[in-house]
């Protein structure tokens, strides 16, 4: 899935659809950042990051925490989140 595939759900009248789209967008971004950091660790980046690695690590932590909050809310609000690979 790519971000553009979540647009219609983000503007839905149904909050559960918007919730799922928010979760999908987070997972897409989380996985992209995780992939970039893995390349960084292997010295395979095709650019030089402006921010320090510590900043990116903080972002990963924040995204992971945000993911956990959304998953908890989904359980409490009976929102069935799709199975996405975002460990």
Could you give the number of structural domains in the chain?
1
- pLDDT per residue over 3-25, tens digit each? 999 999 999 999 999 999 999 99
Q: Is 9 inside a domain boundary?
A: yes
* Stated pTM of the model: 0.89
Range of the domain at 1: 1-28+69-76
Whether 87 is covered by a domain: the verdict is no
Domain-embedded: residue 20: yes
Q: Is residue 8 part of a domain?
A: yes
- Residue 5 forms part of a structural domain: yes
SS3 track for 5-43: HHHHHHCCCCHHHHHHHHHHHHHHHHHHHHHHHHHHHCC
- Is 41 part of a structural domain of the chain? no
- The span from the CA of 50 to the CA of 4, in Å, is 26
> Mind listing the pLDDT tens digit for each residue in 28-39?
999 999 999 999
Q: Residue 6: inside a domain, yes or no? A: yes
């Amino acid at each position: 899935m790519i971000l553009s595939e979540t647009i219609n759900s983000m503007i839905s009248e149904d909050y559960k659809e918007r919730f799922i789209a928010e979760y999908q967008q987070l997972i897409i971004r989380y996985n992209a950042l995780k992939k970039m950091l893995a390349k960084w660790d292997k010295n395979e980046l095709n650019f030089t990051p402006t921010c320090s690695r510590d900043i990116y690590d903080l972002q990963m932590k924040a995204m992971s925490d945000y993911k956990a909050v959304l998953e908890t809310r989904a359980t409490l609000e009976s929102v069935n989140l799709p199975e996405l690979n975002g460990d």
